[in-house]
Structure 1
Amino acid sequence: MNAASVSAASAAANARRAVVDIGSNTVRLTVYDGLPPDYRCIVNTKGSCRLGRDMALTGCLSPSGLRRAYKAVGRFIGQALEEQADEIALLATAAVREATDGPAFCARIERRYGRKVRVLAADEEARLSALGVLAGAPEADGIVADIGGGSLELVAVTDGRIGRTASLPLGHIRLYGESGGDPGRAGPLIDRAFAPLGWLAKGRGRDLCVVGGAWRKLARLHIAGRDIPLDGYALPRADAGALARVVLADTARPSRRTGRSQGMAALLFLRLLAAAEPARVVFTTRGIGDGWLVEQAARGR
């Protein structure tokens, strides 16, 4: 490798990169210094937009969610530029991918901010989720599960290698919309979606690595008041299930303290525990942004 190549490789490794993740429930900004395995996240912030709130009824993005999303994307691009990001990636997931007005949303973002949105295919979304987990736990072994507002991504990982993937229409906001928030109606929807995935049973006795804010809330409830890092926090399956059942019961109360769709996230969590039978649940703060960064490192960028 000549001096110019060494210099270019060094610049790529030390560059600052930002990801604006346009999800079904939130828009999130992450800013990173460096590339895996030697990188760090210096900004991680989000805004609630609920783009996918009306998808079950209309097939379109929520009008109020669209307004919030446009503002959030613009605000986060500006923040990334203030952080002197050398590269800014805009990634969109299930809601934008599936909505009839998703292409129009992306076109408007490009016109307004001069940046293209990369709409992730279902298998890309699952793969990037798994890569994000592996960035922090290279030897992960079991099932990676990433819950969003519009979809659930499932990935088999064996000693750090990605295997089978699935993207299911089981995001907690979508599930709430399709079931009316009734666990009795939501349960069969989940079970039918899981039925073809016989490979989930291979998670028995291994780890279930979970991604997504709706499930991280479970870990935060368990950690509450203790100075314990969330990334990599692990619970035995029985303890994780007990915690999810408390949240599910709370959402059914008239004076509930948790959001309505959070009950669907808890129910989905319990059904996944039953299907995969992991030894433990490992919570992670990493996600698609980290996976995108791994992708850039693999491309030598």
Structure 2
Amino acid sequence: MRIGIIDIGSNSMRLVVYEVKDKSYVVVGQVRQSARLGQNMENGNLDRGRIEYGIKVLHHFKEYMDSKEVDEVIAVATEAIRKAKNKEEFLTRAKSALGKDIRILSGEEEAFYDYYATVNTIDLDKCLMVDIGGSSTEIALIEDKIIQESISIPFGSIVLTEKFNLKNNEKEEQNLHNYLRQSFRKISWLKNARGYPIVGIGGSIRTLGKIDRFRKDNAMFISHNYSMDQKDVSEIYELVRDYHKGVVKRIYGLSKDREDIFIGSLATMNILMRYQNSKKLFVSNAGIRDGLLFEYLLGRNKRVRDVLEFSLDNIISNHMYKGYEGKDLFKLVSAMYSALCKSYPYLIGNGKVLKTATYLYDIGTNINYFQRDRNTFYSILNAPINGLSQKQILMAASCASVFSANDLLKEFFNKKILSSRDMKIIEMLGILIKIAESLNHGVSDNTQIRSISLTDSTMVMEVRSKSDPLFKLEELKNYQSRFKYLYKLNLDVRFV
């Protein structure tokens, strides 16, 4: 089953095509055009040229979906269309181009779908969610992963750019800052979110994260769940101001089709973080389209139980062979990890890293079995894993391939992303996966750890196997010396 989800925004129009199977999904295509429907809206009407361009985009979307054999289309529009006096003309022509009615979302619905995307892809119990679009900004207060309050404010990157002349004009810049603070003061419930982390949604926020990744030499990281400090946002704001003054000639990560409207969005986030005393900004790749997808998969208002588990299951379902033993291995690995954490407390807190590494330990085989370790490293590093930070994803990729990808790890160590302790933890976790592989020896549900005990010199494991353990014991010999080097313990495995 393939579905196409179209989001007609004030700045850009996007189409994402998903392959859906039960409750799993994979993106098979995406098209984005900067239509700027919210620009040049005189007397509340959509600009004639913008309408013509937008209809051409929808014709292209239809052609694209036909080539991908899309079975179902969900199409929505937001603030620019919602407030336009001539929206019926656009909607009539849009239906003719797509063969599908366009659903206009209310501000509250926009906030809901943003919220639904957030709680199902980012593992935060409480946050302030902010979606800065072209013509509106949605803000929602989330506590215990439930939306408590929400509002749609009728300004965004395009509106602020047209309202204020921000290029090298300090007086207008100050007027913008005052306008933003006054707008935030009118939202009485914002005080309940003082100090909360902010989850930022929208193209401008993704651009902000991209700029930060480039300037920190972290461009290899995917943007979803990338975190920034308030200081980072302020520094990038100053950088963009210098760019508009001509002091800075180029900003890596800032695209030409966004540079004229970006500073308004950036100012909004900078002022809001200061106003709220929010120290952290999490960049979200998910938004309205993802919220609509989760509604399609789960039904309305049904959150996934575990953000990380859901995304890992989704990856395995879409990319791994029948009989894949990653989840089965984790039963063995988690038993060893729990026992060792009692004697090595600095391992505590890496359970999610180890789970991800074990679940996806052999994902590289879907590219080339004979280069699977190296492929596994890059596959995990670039996989759509939700619920982990970029550093945790890097550590998981490293754990899964640590004994075959040391040259890759040195690159990240040199960039000061990983500390010497991180490198040691990666090896200590990685050896547990190798031991579990030896115990299972490629046969799922064959081996069970009955007990683990630690003495001053030895870790003793009593293991039950449904088959002759001869080859398992031979395989274990390859890792006993490395285990002793890392843990200062002998490894004594007894099959009972």
TM superposition score category, shorter chain reference: 0.7 to 0.9
- Equivalent residue, structure 2, for 1:5: none
Identity, % of aligned positions: 24
SS in 1 for 2:261: helix
Q: Please, which moves more after superposition, 35-44 or 22-31?
A: 35-44
Deviations 1:190-219 (A, max 9, x none): 222211213223333322000111121111
Q: Does 1:33 align with 2:33?
A: no
1:240 corresponds to which of 229, 233, 250: 233
Amino acid in structure 1 at the alignment position of 2:232: D
Q: Is the 8 A contact 2:127 2:197 kept in 1?
A: yes
SS in structure 1 at match of 2:120: helix
Q: Which has the larger radius of gyration?
A: 2
Question: Where does residue 192 of structure 2 map in the other structure?
Answer: 202
CA distance in 2, matches of 1:289, 1:172: 20
The question of whether the paired residues in 2 share the 8 Å contact of 1:143 and 1:156 is answered with: yes
Question: Residues 96-107 of structure 1 correspond to what in structure 2 (within 5 A)?
Answer: 96-107=81-92
Instruction: Compute the displacement of 1:36 (Å).
Output: 9.3
Q: Which has the larger displacement, 101-110 or 251-260? A: 251-260
Tell me how far 1:33 sits from its aligned partner. Answer: 2.4
Once residues 227 and 124 of structure 1 are traced to their aligned partners in structure 2, the CA distance between those partners, rounded to angstroms, is 34
Counterpart check, 1:163 vs 2:153 = no
Q: Which runs of 5+ in 2 are unaligned?
A: 167-171, 301-496
How far did residue 37 of structure 1 move? 6.2
SS in 2 for 1:33: strand
Displacement of 1:171 in angstroms is 0.6
Alpha-carbon distance, 1:240 to partner: 2.5
Kindly state the Cα deviation for residue 135 of structure 1 after the two structures are TM-superposed. 2.4
Distance 2:19 2:126 in 1: 27
Q: Secondary structure at the match of 1:190?
A: helix
Say whether the 8 Å CA contact 1:201–1:275 is kept in structure 2: no
Aligned-pair distance for 1:120? 0.4
Task: Tell me, in whole angstroms, the C-alpha distance in 1 between the residues paired with 2:99 and 2:247.
Answer: 46
Q: Is the 8 A contact 1:21 1:92 kept in 2?
A: yes
Equivalences, count:
285
Matches within 5 A, 1:1-301: 15-34=1-20, 38-55=24-41, 57-181=42-166, 182-224=172-214, 225=217, 226-253=219-246, 259-299=259-299
TM-score, length-normalised on structure 1?
Answer: 0.87
CA distance in 1, matches of 2:249, 2:52: 28
Instruction: Give SS of 2:243's match.
Output: helix
Gaps of 5+ in 1: 1-14
Residue 9 of structure 1 is matched in structure 2 by: none
How big is each residue's C-alpha offset from its partner over 1:222-245, in whole Å with a ceiling of 9 and x where there is no partner?
A: 112531111110112222232233
| 1:269 to partner: Cα distance | 1.2
- Aligned equivalents of 1:140, 1:42: Cα separation in 2: 31
Contact persistence 1:36–1:294 (CA under 8 A): no
Q: Bigger CA drift: 73-82 or 245-254?
A: 245-254
Which deviates more, 20-29 or 291-300? 291-300
Preserved CA contact (<8 Å) 1:25 1:49: yes
Deviations 1:106-148 (A, max 9, x none): 1111133321000101100111111112221154521110111
Maintained 8 Å contact 2:164/2:176: yes
Q: What is the CA–CA distance in structure 2 between the aligned matches of 1:246 and 1:119, rounded to whole Å?
A: 37
Query: 3-state DSSP class of the match of 1:293?
Result: helix
SS at 1:185 equivalent: helix
1:248–1:266 Cα contact (<8 Å) kept:
no
